Chain A
Amino acid sequence: AQKITQTQPGMFVQEKEAVTLDCTYDTSDPSYGLFWYKQPSSGEMIFLIYQGSYDQQNATEGRYSLNFQKARKSANLVISASQLGDSAMYFCAMREEDSSYKLIFGSGTRLLVRP
């Protein structure tokens, strides 16, 4: 069964520094996708980045990159040059082909960027 684990309930980072948010997953399906979403205090869910299980390279989107280690089943989000506006809740999610494209989320990590 698919499972997503985020072990960091909360994290602090100094403005302009990089931060890594951890995500591990469990699946027996060779075909899956991994997503990261940001939820600011206003409540909306904002898509950040996607990594497919067959992608050879780590995904990058601006200041966001995904450190995908398939053998370890981890998909950590790296935010470079943190900004105050990065303070938010961050969710890792997974979608499997075998489970008819069910999309499940981890418990989230609350990131606070300090000035």
Chain B
Amino acid sequence: DAGVIQSPRHEVTEMGQEVTLRCKPISGHNSLFWYRQTMMRGLELLIYFNNNVPIDDSGMPEDRFSAKMPNASFSTLKIQPSEPRDSAVYFCASMGQGLGTEAFFGQGTRLTVV
């Protein structure tokens, strides 16, 4: 397996534009997490899915953020409209069932909103 794949690796966009981040989890993993990492706030959990169902989106900062997982092999995180304060590294991670399985992280998407 190629691991968790995120795209794009880097995104620079203008304020007000829509941004879509993509994630392909490891096959067979049933949990998928979206995190945002900034210097000020560290690694924040935005939303996570179990078996493609959103379980907890309490970390999503505002209505401008939305996430979907239409099937077991694909998830998106969308920001519309984007703002400069959304600039961060966004990580996707997937895990198998149970407590003892580690989370595998994608390489992250570095988003810059100018």
Contacts and interface: CB of A to CB of B under 8 A. Distances in A.
B107 A102 contact: no
Given A102-B45, A102-B55, A105-B42, A31 B99 contact: yes
Contacts, number: 60
A103 B105 contact: no
Interface residues of A, number: 26
For the residues of B in contact with A, the DSSP-based class is strand
A101 interface: yes
Interface of A: 31-33, 35, 37, 43-45, 47, 50, 52-53, 91, 93, 95, 97, 99-108
B108 A103 contact: no
Given A102-B55, A102-B56, A103-B93, A33 B99 contact: yes
B39 to A, nearest CB: 10
A93 B31 CA distance: 16
B48 A103 contact: yes
B89 A43 contact: yes
